[in-house]
């Protein structure tokens, strides 16, 4: 797995909604906004499945995903890719489910998507754009 640097973690944490890209087994893409998201380590992201349909179907067929995050102040942006695991029980699921449900009853917190980061790419326009950071 790949550990995020402190500056990348800061930008990640400041981002409130992140596009998450998935693809079906046959390669049909899907992008959906994720808001119930938390960085839980240098290399691990939790996302709560509140309303996923195509995203969840894709992750069951193809567990690889990508997230994009952007800092409006610095204009820096990154993409992380990783392998996912879907959890519907256990202490990690229960901990994040309880956090998400404090926001309101409209969040069903159906499953926890755990992403282990495998790659990080620079997305900031310029000569480093597209280069693998880690």
CA pair distance 74, 16, nearest whole angstrom:
15
Burial tier of 9 (Cβ tally within 10 Å: 0-12, 13-18, 19+): middle
Question: Residue 114 falls within a domain, yes or no?
Answer: yes
Burial tier of 65 (Cβ tally within 10 Å: 0-12, 13-18, 19+): buried
Distances (CA, A) of 50 to 47, 68, 108, 111, 113: 9, 19, 5, 7, 11
Q: What's the CATH code of the domain at 47?
A: 2.30.110.10
Question: What would the pLDDT profile of 68-106 be if each residue is shown by its tens digit?
Answer: 999 999 999 999 999 999 999 999 999 999 999 998 888
Question: What would the pLDDT profile of 15-55 be if each residue is shown by its tens digit?
Answer: 999 999 999 999 999 999 999 999 999 999 999 999 999 99
Question: Residue 127 falls within a domain, yes or no?
Answer: no
Q: State the total domains in the chain.
A: 1
Does residue 80 contact residue 4 with C-beta atoms inside 8 Å? Answer: yes
- Which residue range is the domain that position 116 belongs to? 6-122
Question: Residue 129 falls within a domain, yes or no?
Answer: no
Backbone phi, psi, residue 22, to 5°: -135, 170
pTM, entire model: 0.93
Question: Residue 132 falls within a domain, yes or no?
Answer: no
């Amino acid at each position: 797995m790949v550990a995020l640097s402190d500056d990348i973690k800061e930008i990640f944490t400041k981002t409130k909604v992140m596009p998450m890209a998935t693809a079906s087994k046959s390669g049909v893409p899907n992008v959906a906004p994720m808001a119930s998201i938390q960085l839980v380590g240098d290399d691990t992201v939790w996302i709560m499945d509140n309303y996923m349909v195509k995203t969840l179907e894709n992750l069951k067929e193809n567990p690889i995903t990508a997230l994009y995050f952007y800092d409006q102040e610095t204009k820096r942006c990154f993409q992380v890719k990783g392998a996912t695991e879907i959890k519907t029980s256990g202490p990690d699921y229960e901990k994040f489910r309880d956090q998400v449900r404090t926001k309101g009853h409209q969040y069903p917190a159906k499953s926890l998507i755990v992403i282990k980061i495998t790659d990080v790419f620079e997305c900031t326009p310029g000569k480093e754009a597209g280069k693998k950071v880690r």
